[in-house]
Amino acid sequence: MTGNMWIRQIHRWLSIAFTLAVIANIVALTMQVQATWIGLLAFVPLIPLLATGLYMFALPYLGRGRGARQEA
């Protein structure tokens, strides 16, 4: 697998982890559980999810610059 495929796979799994953390937070709120760490649990996958998402967002723009340089 190439580097881009690894990033995409990591991004997919992080999105699943983030979704589960948000569901756990909602369940804890409905059960009136006062645990701050459950609310902060969603930030653990969210930060690398943001980094991988920004990387994949920038890929098409970075590719255009490389292609234009190669043609010139």
Q: What would the pLDDT profile of 19-53 be if each residue is shown by its tens digit?
A: 999 999 899 889 888 778 888 888 999 999 999 99
pTM of the model: 0.76
Handedness of CA 60, 66, 71, 72 (dihedral sign): positive
Domain boundaries, the chain: 3-71
Segments in the chain forming alpha helices (H): 3-30, 36-40, 43-71
Task: Report the pLDDT averaged over residues 50-61.
Answer: 93
Q: What is the pLDDT of residues 17-26, one digit of tens each?
A: 999 999 998 9
